[in-house]
Amino acid sequence: MATQPETLVTEEMVQRKGVFSEPRVAPPIALSDIRKWGIAVYWPETPPKLHWDEDYARTTRHGGVIAPLDFNPFAWPIDREPPTSGRATAAGAGVGTRGMNGGQTEEYYAPMKSGDVISSTTGLTEWTERQTRLGLTLFTTTETRWTNQDGELVKVKKSIGIRY
């Protein structure tokens, strides 16, 4: 029987905590992108006018068409990053290598509008470690922050990874 480690926190994690990636920048959002996204997510119903009707949207506090909250300006990249190797899997290769998705939350701030250029940066923000029925278990929180061209926060997504 393998000995259980004292911690699953690595030196690399300690070094990376609170350090965010270089920004990834999406192409400018087009009004047609917002309209198509709205049609797709509300199908077969008609999307709210705020997502497609310019005349109506100008009369709102937003002053124009805004994207649905779940709009993703990074959805169709031409260049894709290669998948990372060595990720934790359910089968794993031993203590600390088995993993699962612990869920995610999203908080929304400034709405996305036509012409906005969204930047995304990601970093490891926190972790907790404790004994569970699976043994020593590490819960990591990775945060992805989206900002627009004016530096306004658009969205914060927190993803929980679980390794045991």
At 5, is the pLDDT very low, low, confident or very high (cuts 50, 70, 90)?
confident
Domain membership flag for residue 87: no
Q: What is the CATH number of the domain that holds 154?
A: 3.10.129.10
Do 41 and 21 reside in the same domain of the chain?
A: no
Question: Which distant-in-sequence residues (6+ apart) come within 8 Å of 102 by Cβ?
Answer: 139, 159, 160, 161, 162
Looking at residue 72, its pLDDT comes to 96
Total structural domains in the chain?
A: 2
Do 19 and 38 reside in the same domain of the chain?
A: no
Q: Which domain holds residue 61?
A: 30-72
Domain membership flag for residue 137: yes
Looking at residue 147, its pLDDT comes to 98
Taking alpha carbons only, the member of 155, 49, 74, 66 closest to residue 112 is 66
Domain membership flag for residue 154: yes
Do 56 and 101 reside in the same domain of the chain?
A: no
Mean pLDDT of the chain: 90
C-beta of residue 117 within 8 angstroms of C-beta of residue 154: no
Do 143 and 159 reside in the same domain of the chain?
A: yes
pLDDT in tens, 60-102: 999 999 999 999 999 976 776 676 655 555 555 667 778 899 9
Domain membership flag for residue 130: yes
Looking at residue 76, its pLDDT comes to 77
